[in-house]
Amino acid sequence: MRYVLMLCLLVLSAPSYAFLGFGVDCNSASDCQRKGDRLFEMSAGGSCKKALEYYEEACDEYDSGKGCYDAATCYAFELGSKSKATKYYVKACKNGYSPACVFSQMR
């Protein structure tokens, strides 16, 4: 009984159902961005690993330049994938987020 109660509390208090395999749970670019930022801030030392799904969703599903930029920054500075970083910087620039245009030239 105690384990069932603990599981219920975990599910109800979670900011995302992504850990259950349902993907991200946002319905607009700003919603995805806000949830990604919250996960980033909650992580120890500001880790992108949990927030990245939300940033990618904001970018890929809602064409958010800021979401693309944040996903690119995660790939460039934390996850070490220069090709994915460049892809997202280019997309951010094309979506009107001008700070990304400087980085979109990375090769």
pLDDT per position as a tens digit, 80-98: 899 999 999 999 999 999 9
pLDDT digits (tens, 9 = 90+) for 44-79: 777 888 899 999 999 999 999 999 999 999 999 888
Residue 104 has a pLDDT of 74
Q: For residue 23, name the pLDDT band (cuts at 50, 70, 90).
A: low
> Among candidates 55, 51, 73, 72, which has minimal Cα distance to 64?
55
What is the phi/psi pair of residue 66, to 5°? -65, -40
Name which of 37-41, 90-94, 103-107 the model is least confident about: 103-107
Q: Parse the chain into domains and list their residue ranges.
A: 24-103
> Among candidates 77, 70, 81, which has minimal Cα distance to 89?
70
SS3 1: coil
- CATH code given to domain 24-103: 1.25.40.10
Give, as one character, the DSSP assignment of residue 17. S
